[in-house]
Structure 1
Amino acid sequence: MRTNLSKHDTAAPVIAGLVVAAVTLWLRHGLLEAGLLPRDCSLAGAPAAACAFKTVLVQSFLDQRLGWASLIAGVLGFVLSCRRLAWAGWLAGVAGLVLYSYDPAAIGALLALLVLVGTHGEHGQGEREPGEQPADGLRVGRLG
């Protein structure tokens, strides 16, 4: 049995998630934890742009803000079946998983991912051909 990634449009969310994870890992380990950003931005000679970037980056994961944003977007995207909110929930969730917001980011990302890879189009939203049985798409033979 072969898996068809293009059938449910899973390639785009997977690739986008990998890109966001790579960028977020680089920000966390390559800049923040490696000490490339200024340690003390209260000093007179500290570069303003680097300090502003560091402040925004650190504030994004304090109090799990990034994870809560993912959870809100993921829940709204799931409830409203809105792909734009689902994309926001998915990408914020991936970043939140890397940046210390595990619990809310994981739930938000998974709910968003259900919307992004859910079936839509020809057999989405419970639409079937007249006379078609639920098991017909599974290639299960009739019993008896």
Structure 2
Amino acid sequence: MKDKTIDYILRATWQAVARMYNEEAGKYGATMSIGFALLSIDKEKGISSTALGPQMGMEATSLTRTLKSMEEKGLIVRKKNPVDGRGVIIHLTKLGREKRDLSKEVVLKFNEAVKQRVSQQKMDHFVEVAEVINELIAEKQIFATEQPEAEIENKAK
């Protein structure tokens, strides 16, 4: 991937990982999103629907579709929040817990396959670079000093 931009490498790699997970999940009638949701739901306590979206980094509409599909497949049940009756807590069913364990095995298998081919030092550097990228984005340090052309033109007038 020589001479590729960082964002291209990240995107191409993530798309390959997503295809791999979706292909594996498809064998079980699921999707990568369903697997990720299963792993994000606490096995014992469940999770509020409002907390799940941000935890997964999913938009509300995508999450709603995923949860509906999971409910139809018998993986989750929604229960009223006992603390706040307006909210909903999502709980895994017995089948959901089984599929969660399967999803965890798939993720661990992927991690192990990568770790067998990449030294610990390179993994540490990879994590370090990813953390720097996330910090730059979170702190809005990439485009913060640039001003849109229209804004520059308005100031010149």
TM-score by length of 1: 0.27
TM-score (norm 2): 0.25
By relative contact order (CA 8 Å, sep 6+), the higher-ranking structure is 1
